[in-house]
A and B are shown apart, each in its own frame.
Chain A
């Protein structure tokens, strides 16, 4: 285990407004492993919504703000594979014709991590000492698995949770249909994708679909509740932190 790291939290606009308890869980878990966590007050959004809707100038402005805000940080950790993917994969690309900015974008991209990735790869923690009696399936966030290459880390963390049954995800490759603006621009296709995705999860008999991204959770959770499906959604960090507290209560 690695101790004493300085970590800046990038909360992401989704977690900030809809899942603040996920941010709290991340802070608690990082501190549990000796990290000093700070929260730069000037942060807003990574700019992915602008980039994905073709607003290049606006997306670059977000990237500049993020780079300025975090370039003096040791590490930047966020509870979203999609936002981390955007920073790591697309920021350098955005500035490929601007040598100075490209360098800064690469530097900040190199120290940006998704939460589970940071826990396993940097802190070298796989067992946080959590107890969580539930049957769980892990939903791979598209950008997390494809842009960051993070697939195994969340599973490693989940496998170490006491009393938790992790069932196999038979189609780890299938998107939940969120896609940001896509979910409201093409709501029919987006919903059909969620239905297929959720149908597969219901058939695994899992109680909870766990993911590392607010977008997927919001989308699948919102559709599952509307359809009355017997499955809930939860962020990995929140599950782990609640699990730690369960263990403490049991002790």
Chain B
């Protein structure tokens, strides 16, 4: 993978990508704001279970409690799933998931997979591993299907093909269809439906994730808009669900709160077109449904976060709102981040879930504006975690050494009043030869050396003034005494 700077430059230079990302992010943001305004208006008339802030508080309490007692709820969930006829697996990492999947493949002599959208499966590179074994894996979520055809990874947690234009999608579908396709929605979805329908019917194993898993009932919950989740998990004889171990909610009542937040925050919908609640596999006497249900609880770094200062990031319900509100994401899109989870949440959890050193660039890619925290339906303090990660990088010696050294020296001097004043003089004198006069007599610097170069490459800079405020105070004081 090219380095972060290269990835950023590539994204910033791709106007089609940036246009597509901004268009969809803005549309999702607008719909989300409207849905929340609507919810709040309903709450004012006691027509809903609460305002957005009420739900956010309740959801935090539920998630806090669940994470605190995660061992208990995992055991309860496992017991419930088994009681419903399912099999429970525990995966510490990607290799475990692949091994478990391969065991099922072998036993069932399976050849073909159909997949509902699952970020957990992306996290463990399941498609890649299965395809390497010569198995067919087909993504059935429209967005995921598009990026599978493009041989890419999701550029957004909820909208995987957010960076693609209609034209690009029509061209890709046209290539598979062997004929030219128009860019209208009915044509594109009709093509996908026709192609995928055959795949659903032929699949040996259906793979899904879960948006929630209710511990008391062992119910897998899937929020979808295309119905592909239901087909993937009910038509093939085997259903394999990969569930991040933080997805648990204790009860069905708790689920109502979290479900109240997810579609609203993700797509601005009150409810999604489909909300599947799957409790076990086919029971004796039932005519359809999978014969086997396998639930893999995935750790993959999550237990490193549990109990740490970053624990609240495990509350994330993967709605993608922080991406839609982020001024960085809207400019560079998802792939520039390089990690499976892009945007603010990705910049926080990627170094935590994976090799810390590999992702130390990501926490730097933020102006710390806090829009992510404001948008988050769980109120996760994302920008504060970015600061904590920067601290951790400095403490572990993983931060940019040159930059850190300069900052440390400057900051240590800057705190002492006499050095502060001396540096302000040096700053003034040092910028003299770079300052030019504007027509109105004020000064501007358009090209500065050293650490300021990165600024003046694209922006003008105001040179340090001859008389800073602390020197002017004496005059103001005299004036005030009058």
Contact = CB atoms under 8 A, between A and B. Distances in A.
A74 interface: no
A186 B325 contact: no
Given A45-B415, A143-B370, A146-B370, A20 B468 contact: yes
Interface string A189-217: 11111101000000000000000000000
Contacts of A221: 460, 462
- Dominant secondary structure of chain A at its interface with chain B: helix
A179 B415 contact: no
A223 B459 contact: yes
A225 interface: yes
Given A190-B367, A194-B459, A223-B459, A50 B411 contact: yes
27 contacts: A16-B469, A17-B424, A20-B467, A27-B476, A31-B480, A36-B480, A52-B390, A54-B392, A54-B404, A58-B408, A61-B412, A62-B411, A142-B369, A143-B370, A180-B368, A182-B368, A185-B454, A187-B455, A188-B5, A188-B9, A189-B331, A193-B327, A196-B331, A222-B459, A222-B460, A223-B459, A226-B446
A189 B336 CA distance: 11
Interface of B: 5, 8-9, 12, 325, 327-328, 330-332, 364-371, 373-374, 387, 389-395, 399-400, 403-404, 407-408, 411-412, 414-417, 420, 424, 427, 444, 446, 451-452, 454-455, 457-462, 464-465, 467-470, 472-473, 476-477, 480
A53 interface: yes
Contacts of A174: 327, 371
A225 B480 contact: no
Contact of A45 (B395, B414, B468): B414
Contact of A16 (B387, B403, B424, B461): B424
B461 A11 contact: no
Contacts of B395: 54, 56
Interface in A102-124: none
A143 B407 CA distance: 22
| Of listed A23, A61, A189, residue having the most chain B CB within 10 A | A189
Interface in A23-44: 23-24, 27, 31, 36-37, 39, 41-44
Contact of A53 (B365, B374, B404): B404
B470 A58 contact: no
A18 B420 contact: no
A50 B373 CA distance: 21
Nearest to B29: A173
B21 to A, nearest CB: 12
Contact of B367 (A54, A59, A142): A142
A44 B412 CA distance: 11
Contacts of B462: 18-19, 218, 221-222
B321 to A, nearest CB: 12
A235 interface: no
Contacts of A193: 327-328, 331, 367
Nearest to A37: B480
A247 B477 CA distance: 24
B411 A222 contact: no
**B contact patch SS:** helix
A18 B464 contact: yes
B455 A51 contact: no
Q: Which of B391, B444, B458 has the most CB of A within 10 A?
A: B458
B472 A173 contact: no
Given A53-B407, A187-B455, A223-B459, 8 more contacts: A15-B469, A24-B469, A53-B399, A142-B369, A177-B327, A189-B331, A192-B332, A226-B460
A88 interface: no
Interface residues of A, number: 67
Given A143-B370, A184-B451, A223-B459, A55 B364 contact: no
B325 A173 contact: yes
B420 A45 contact: yes
A129 interface: no
9 A-B pairs with least C-beta separation: A179-B367, A54-B390, A175-B369, A222-B459, A142-B369, A20-B469, A54-B394, A23-B469, A184-B454
Contacts of A18: 462, 464-465
B400 to A, nearest CB: 8
A39 B473 contact: yes
Given A39-B477, A47-B415, A193-B327, A186 B364 contact: yes
Nearest to A194: B459
B458 A65 contact: no
Nearest to A173: B371
B411 A49 contact: yes
A194 to B, nearest CB: 7
A101 interface: no
Given A58-B408, A142-B367, A191 B465 contact: no
A178 interface: yes
Contacts of B399: 53-54
Given A20-B467, A179-B369, A189-B328, A55 B473 contact: no
A187 B414 contact: no
B458 A191 contact: yes
A177 B470 contact: no
A37 B469 CA distance: 14
B460 A142 contact: no
